[in-house]
Structure 1
Amino acid sequence: MPPTLVLIRHAQAIHNVDRANHFFPDPSLTDLGRQQSAELREHLKAHLPADREMQLIVVSPMRRAVQTCLIALDWLIDSGVPVVPDARWQENYPKPCDTGSPAPELAAEFPGIDFSGLDPVYPDKTSPAGAAYRYEKGAILARGQSALADLYKRTEDVILVVSHSGFMRTAVAGQWFHNADYRIFDFVDREGKGEDEPYKLVEWALTRGKGGMGRSNEVVVEFGEGLP
């Protein structure tokens, strides 16, 4: 049986406060973002299903996602749950605020996380080498399918993913995510389906609507909506 996914959006970062801050490269969390992460931590500890095992954390390598992960999920990390940075879960856009930092820089800043397995092309998303991460509908949808395909094949019971609103909304879940909010999904059964059949998710009733924290927009989004 494929794993259940807990999809989490990072908490508030500097660029979320003012569009003028979009020129900040790979921005950090604000003080409110750190508070939101701490609130999310306590909520998840109380509300994640007690009869399920949280066995893996996948995180976007972008600074705000890693910071959210280390605050909100420290209790799982301290218990031995591994953290795997994955470039496929980064944000869509090529703006400075949505472009990550080089792996050596991240490794120095977050020594408790192993970035050695990160796609060596990261954070490039504009050159031919970074074509898989381009801000183009086809590339983003393919990236979403690639990320889901890998998780579908894993054997963990529950996998938590810390990522970004734009990517999860347009290429993974078709749902909005407020800062530091989350949604829980199972994979749609693929029995009898061909290899070219897209991977799809169905949301748990527990988070359906406004998300687990009750902060998210309820509007369902068509995959690829708004992408060039």
Structure 2
Amino acid sequence: MIILRHCESEFNRLYTLTGRDPGVADPCLSAQGREHARRLVHELAGEHITRILVSPFTRALETAAPIAKALGITPEITPLVRERGMYSCDEGSPASALCSAWPRLDFAGLDEIWWSDLPESDRHLQSRVQRFRSFMAAQPASGETLVVSHWWFLLGLCGDSLENGDWRHEHL
């Protein structure tokens, strides 16, 4: 599979400026993040991506959108790969709001309040990572899957810190 950390969000931009949690729940991408997401279309063009799994957070959805459009793929909402509940940005938007904002995506399997409690324990995060590993190991085309996720989840999955918009191949 290919793992991709979402591009820069407004939370990331403000946190970098101040070093403090800016109190922004479920932030959208910053202008720089939106441009980076558009560039990812070309960066990932040579990869044989046939499926996109995406976290329900807005920043992940906005990162996946231009890639999905270019490839003609409808992203699959995958709450298992959501961010660890630690900061204000880790409070999501209710499923009903996401359905309104993203009418072409299927949020039917998403609870209205789907994000993790703050703070989410290491044990709970690692449990999600292991469940995702098991899920992906059972997928026939896992090597053709793009997973758009978040820093803490991807750190647990691969053991490395990915910066905003970084991607790499990850083997199970």
TM-score by length of 2: 0.89
In structure 1, what is the equivalent of residue 103 of structure 2? 111
| More displaced stretch, 15-24 vs 104-113 | 15-24
- Kindly indicate whether the alpha-carbon contact (under 8 Å) linking 1:24 and 1:96 is maintained by their aligned counterparts in 2: yes
In structure 1, what is the equivalent of residue 9 of structure 2? 13
Distance 1:123 1:176 in 2: 22
Unaligned runs of 5+ in 2: none
The number of aligned residues is 167
In structure 2, what is the equivalent of residue 176 of structure 1? 161
- Kindly indicate whether the alpha-carbon contact (under 8 Å) linking 2:85 and 2:115 is maintained by their aligned counterparts in 1: no
Larger Rg: 1
- Kindly indicate whether the alpha-carbon contact (under 8 Å) linking 1:14 and 1:21 is maintained by their aligned counterparts in 2: no
Structure 1 SS opposite 2:44: helix
Matched, 1:55 2:40: no
In structure 2, what is the equivalent of residue 101 of structure 1? 93
Distance 1:22 1:139 in 2: 25
In structure 2, what is the equivalent of residue 225 of structure 1? none
Runs (4 or more) in structure 1 with deviation over 3 Å come to none
Larger RCO (CA within 8 A; separation ≥ 6): 2
Matched, 1:163 2:158: no
In structure 2, what is the equivalent of residue 130 of structure 1? none
In structure 2, what is the equivalent of residue 211 of structure 1? none
In the TM superposition, residue 21 of structure 1 has moved relative to its aligned partner by 5.3
Matched, 1:136 2:121: yes
TM-score by length of 1: 0.68
Once superposed, what is the RMSD of the aligned Cα atoms?
1.7
C-alpha deviations, 1:48-76, integer Å up to 9, x for none?
Answer: 2xxxx422110000000000000233212
The 5 Å alignment of 1:73-112 reads 73-76=68-71, 78=72, 81-112=73-104
Matched, 1:148 2:133: yes
Which amino acid letter does the alignment assign opposite residue 101 of structure 2? E
